[in-house]
Amino acid sequence: MADWGTRPLVLAVESDAARLGRTETELARSFGTSLRIRGEPSAAEAVHQLDGALQRGERVALVLVSDRLSQVDRGAVLAAARTQHPEARRVLLIDWGAWSEPDVARTILQGTAIGDLHSYVLRPWVEGDELFHRTVAEIVQDWSRADPRNKREVVIVADPHSGRAFELSNLLHRNRIPYAFRDRDSQRGQQVLRAAAPAPDGQVVVWMPAIGGTTLVDPSDAQVLDAWGIPTTLTEEARTVDLLVVGAGPSGLAAAVYGASEGLHTLVIEREAIGGQAGTSSLIRNYLGFSRGLSGSELAQRGYQQAWVFGARFVLTRWVEALEQADGLLRATVSGQGTVTARAVVLACGVAYRRLGVASVEAFTGQGVYYGASVSAAHALTGLSAAVIGGGNSAGQAVLQLARYCSAVHLVIRGPRLEDTMSAYLIEAIAGEPVITVHRSCAVTDAAGAGRLETLVLSDLTTGDTTTIAADGLFVMIGAEPHTDWLPEQVQRDRRGFVLTGTEAAAGPPDQRQPAPGPDRAPQPHETSLPGLFAVGDVRSGSVKRVASAVGEGSVVVSEVHQHLSVPRA
Ligand SMILES: Cc1cc2nc3c(=O)[nH]c(=O)nc-3n(C[C@H](O)[C@H](O)[C@H](O)COP(=O)(O)OP(=O)(O)OC[C@H]3O[C@@H](n4cnc5c(N)ncnc54)[C@H](O)[C@@H]3O)c2cc1C
């Protein structure tokens, strides 16, 4: 049973007495009233503290481990924290100037890639070190949001097996609305039901103490977002706009920020949640300027607020289902909301990576399991084991990349032959890499690990035999789909449905290479074969599938939109 009366623990582990003293003093200065600060000089004593906290049902917010502890000692503390207090943030304490030491960088990179560490912090070097305080405050806030036992702005009360409660949790999580789930039979769940809304068994109650105690019984997604203040319906003034952006992933948010800030009346329609694919990434590590990484949903919320402040308007839980030209303008049909007329439209509707659909594997997403692009972090797995699922060229390139760093790499494909799906040069290169094992006619059917991915179960699809392999990282590369079939025929797409732009759009699809019918001027670099319709980010044929490039394309496309708008309509 968790002890709610006790302040959550912050534990610092440091063998040097002077350093430990300073860290403890600085932690106590800023956090001493709300958190219990404790310093330990050795791994054994730190592990003892963590054991004790577990026995007493105390919560642990943060464990700071010195980079000066031996690898074995550091590993012992991190393993105890990971397994006994999985919600606690695990952070490496490093010295100013440590960026000149490759070993420290490697420890951080590898530790975060395999889920041992969440982050790092520079030791306080002076009394009242504000950088230290700010960094720790951000990490503690991150813990506070992640620990479901903390008080929350929104509370869902439902049966623990309710599928609808799961969907609503996902909706709130992806829109970065802080929420807690309470079992309706628990003491705290019953308290909410008594105070807020008695509801028959099976019904889901959403209570919003931060919004005047608003209570919703069995609400739709739109009702929940509306109550929180996120619009889900079109207002009359949003029916005629300069710029319509389809999708609020990184590229759409960037287009909205630049469009609105440059004076365009801008509307964004988003089918699901702000942030798109990026919103599902627990930590984006390669976005410029965020050395500790940044959660995708946080990046998205910042972009959303920025666009909103500049005057962009958003409508969520709706999608654009048709588009047509009308009197030199573009008219979009929005699900359940009628039409919007726009002088220009930016398609920022991305792709959806096919999910594996194995619950035990999905549970490690971000803690060793990655979808698509994150394989760029391959070198973080130096000396460890990795697996890749997928038989396409991107999976082939991924295993070769991983083989440069990992001690063992497994490629898992459902079919009996790589030759059916992968280019010969890649197959040859894979055959020449002794660390790569190809598992043909196989599927990943289970995953396990203490707080992070450690093992995978492979099932032979022909014999039914199972094998367990060690895997610190799993990269799922089973394809991504752009979902562009609702666009009018004249919008040129490649054979996989990605939208052609610029010279490609003018030339037509690569396998047909006929000039696209339509515009009598060449499309601009991000313009499609339909004048005034632009495409950016992952949905665009040939784009680099990364957050930074999506943001870049969403930013630069607005100057092309201005160019289009400056030409008088025929
Ligand atoms: C799990 C995961 C982790 C990743 N990690 C990283 C990483 O660490 N670093 C990195 O650089 N990249 C990463 N990526 C890739 C990165 O997230 C994408 O490249 C990026 O999000 C693409 O942005 P986008 O705006 O083009 O499209 P998306 O992010 O796909 O956004 C498109 C949005 O459009 C909406 N939409 C679609 N159709 C319609 C419609 N008809 N009407 C209205 N809305 C619609 C969708 O709901 C979605 O919200 C990751 C991807 C995944 C899936």
Write out pLDDT tens, residues 310-331: 999 999 999 999 999 988 899 9
| Ligand 1 midpoint to CA 435 (Å) | 32
Low-confidence residues of the chain, pLDDT below 70?
1-5, 148, 282, 366, 372-379, 509-520, 569-570
Q: Whose CA is nearest to atom 27 of ligand 1?
A: 350
Dump pLDDT digits (tens) for 355-404: 898 999 998 886 788 876 555 566 677 788 999 999 988 788 889 888 87
Ligand 1: lining residues by beta carbon, under 6 Å: 246-252, 269-272, 276-278, 280-281, 284-286, 319-320, 348-351, 353, 371-374, 483, 537-538, 545-548, 550
Instruction: Report pLDDT for 372.
Output: 66
Beta bridge partners, 122, equal 94
Rounded Cα gap, residues 471 and 474, in angstroms: 7
Instruction: Report pLDDT for 189.
Output: 87
The number of the ligand 1 atom at minimal distance from the alpha carbon of 547 is 11
Instruction: Report pLDDT for 307.
Output: 97
Instruction: Report pLDDT for 61.
Output: 96
Cβ proximity of 354 and 479 under 8 Å: yes
| Domains of the chain in sequence order | 9-146 (3.40.50.2300), 154-223 (3.40.30.10), 236-351+482-566 (3.50.50.60), 359-480 (3.50.50.60)
| Ligand 1 midpoint to CA 538 (Å) | 7
Instruction: Report pLDDT for 98.
Output: 87
| Ligand 1 midpoint to CA 259 (Å) | 20
Q: Whose CA is nearest to atom 30 of ligand 1?
A: 350
Rounded Cα gap, residues 142 and 442, in angstroms: 38
Terminal alpha carbon distance of the chain: 72
| Ligand 1 midpoint to CA 251 (Å) | 8
Rounded Cα gap, residues 100 and 523, in angstroms: 48
C-alpha of 365 from chain center: 9
| Ligand 1 midpoint to CA 355 (Å) | 14
Q: Which residues of 181-205 are buried (b: 16+ CB within 10 A; e: fewer)?
A: bbbbeeeebeebbeebbebeeebbb
Cβ proximity of 454 and 441 under 8 Å: no
- Residue to substitute in 234, 272, 281, 330 for testing ligand 1 pocket (most ligand atoms within 8 angstroms of CB): 281
- Residue to substitute in 277, 291, 353 for testing ligand 1 pocket (most ligand atoms within 8 angstroms of CB): 277
The number of the ligand 1 atom at minimal distance from the alpha carbon of 539 is 26
| Ligand 1 midpoint to CA 348 (Å) | 9
| Ligand 1 midpoint to CA 286 (Å) | 15
Rounded Cα gap, residues 132 and 128, in angstroms: 8
Q: Whose CA is nearest to atom 39 of ligand 1?
A: 349
| Ligand 1 midpoint to CA 300 (Å) | 11
- Residue 413: partners with Cβ closer than 8 Å, 6 or more residues away: 389, 390, 391, 395, 421, 438, 439, 440, 441, 442
Instruction: Report pLDDT for 514.
Output: 61
The pTM assigned to this predicted structure is 0.81
| Ligand 1 midpoint to CA 250 (Å) | 7
- Residue to substitute in 487, 547, 551 for testing ligand 1 pocket (most ligand atoms within 8 angstroms of CB): 547
The tokens for 253 are 């948010």
